[in-house]
Amino acid sequence: MEKRGCVRTEIINTGRELIEGKKSASSAFLTEKLSSIGISAARITTVSDSTGEIHDVVREALGRANIIFCIGGMGSTSDDITRDVFADISGRKLVFSRKAMENVARYFARRGRDVPVKCENQAKILQGSRVLPNDKGSSPGLFIEVNSSKIFLLPGPVDEVKSLMKGELFRMLKEYESKIVRKRVLHIFHKCESEVYEMLSEVIETERELEKKTVSFSFEKCPWGTDLSIECRGYDELLVDELLHKIRSEVYDFIGEEVFGENKESLETVAGELLARKRLTLGVAESATGGLLSSLITDAPGSSVYFKQGAVFYSTRSKIKSLGVSSRTVENYGAVSEETALEMAQRVRELYGVKCGISITGYAGPKAGEDKEAGTGYIGIDIDGDNCSYTVKFSGSRREIKEKFAYSALGYLWRKLKSE
């Protein structure tokens, strides 16, 4: 592939499920990977499994883009029509490929199965195209050139796209690398996007003015708060690294206390590391989250060192009879209250014989309860008798609110452990 200083790249996602609301993890991964080598997608289009629709979208992209990725429709079912569409557009025949067949056969051999007859169709490739081996699936990727456009046809599942990007495909794309790109994602607890922007507006506007188009900031709403992405670009690796380090330091000067981690660090991991470092064991009593908090905690590798036990005390009766919360507390303040959350944390610490107890009680919605709105929750934390509680209020679907409750509990635990 000929190296160019600037290329226009487009991504086409195919699949009715994407039209109906399912997110494309493959597209998200691909854009991030491309960005790491200085290639930005100018347009991402989603289209259903319709020959006519895909045909129209591809025709339009061919008139604009140097590089086109088409994700999905490479399997063996009736709606896998990507190869056929590109055969029609390019005027090429579909021909049997021994290399593609080896990919198909290898996939089923690893599973101790013969190749199903219908899957033999995946060994057909566009005449003159290049087969890109896929270690995670039966359908290989394909590379073809149509007019002046370089086209990559990729299977839909994200693990297969990741596999392809580890091999020949990534090496081909690096020939288009035009700039050094460095990116850092800062995870910020319990602050919304507008709050983070307001806190950092001086840094952001100054850097945008000084560095022009070499620096960009983006904000993403997350269950724990906000992710701030800082991206720096340039032709000198040392200067790009220095610039990113400088901006990161400036951000920490303003909101460092709110940042719990960077890049692939998670809230459950950093909170767990603090528990392990302080030699604290943990017990969980959750109500509104229905076990989600315990699940998040155990997502962290090595969590068995500090996490000892957790349980869901969903009904008011279970809070009193099984956990041991005082009936008077519930009668006076309600099962969803700051006082009940505090007592739940204390009782779970005593019940399980751990150093740290954490609790959640709340209304995940959509209906409210007692005199409180849906999305209202209370978190209790008790570390060797030193206890505190937090009130949270969220909006969203029932599942979203449960996630926000659970991440809030982890975040407040992280804050308290960090401050001690």
pLDDT per position as a tens digit, 302-340: 999 999 999 999 999 999 999 999 999 999 999 999 999
Query: How does pLDDT run across 377-392, given as a tens digit for each residue?
Result: 999 999 999 999 999 9
Single-letter code of the amino acid located at 227 = D
Which CA distances in Å does 224 have to 268, 299, 357, 366? 11, 16, 20, 20
Q: Which of 55-69, 167-181, 233-247 has the lowest mean pLDDT?
A: 167-181
**E strand map for 141-253:** 141-146, 149-154, 180-189, 215-222, 225-234
Is the pLDDT reported for residue 406 higher than 80? yes
Which CA distances in Å does 160 have to 117, 134, 186? 22, 7, 28
**What does DSSP say about strands 124-126 and 94-96: parallel, antiparallel, or unpaired?**
antiparallel
Determine the pLDDT at residue 6.
60
Determine the pLDDT at residue 4.
44
DSSP annotation of 321 reads I
**E strand map for 167-298:** 180-189, 215-222, 225-234, 259-262, 282-286
Is the pLDDT reported for residue 25 higher than 80? yes
Q: Give CA angle at 142 (137, 143), nearest 5°.
A: 150
Q: What is the CA radius of gyration of the chain?
A: 26
What domains does the chain contain, in order, with CATH numbers? 9-176 (3.40.980.10), 180-262 (3.30.70.2860), 267-419 (3.90.950.20)
Which pTM does this prediction carry? 0.78
What average pLDDT does the segment 399-405 reach?
A: 97
If you search the block for the tokens 């390019």, which residue do you land on?
Answer: 90
C-alpha torsion angle, residues 269, 273, 274, 278 (rounded to 10)? 150
Cα 125 to Cα 98: distance, rounded to the nearest angstrom: 10
Determine the pLDDT at residue 178.
65
Q: Give CA angle at 402 (416, 292), nearest 5°.
A: 75
Cα 252 to Cα 375: distance, rounded to the nearest angstrom: 31
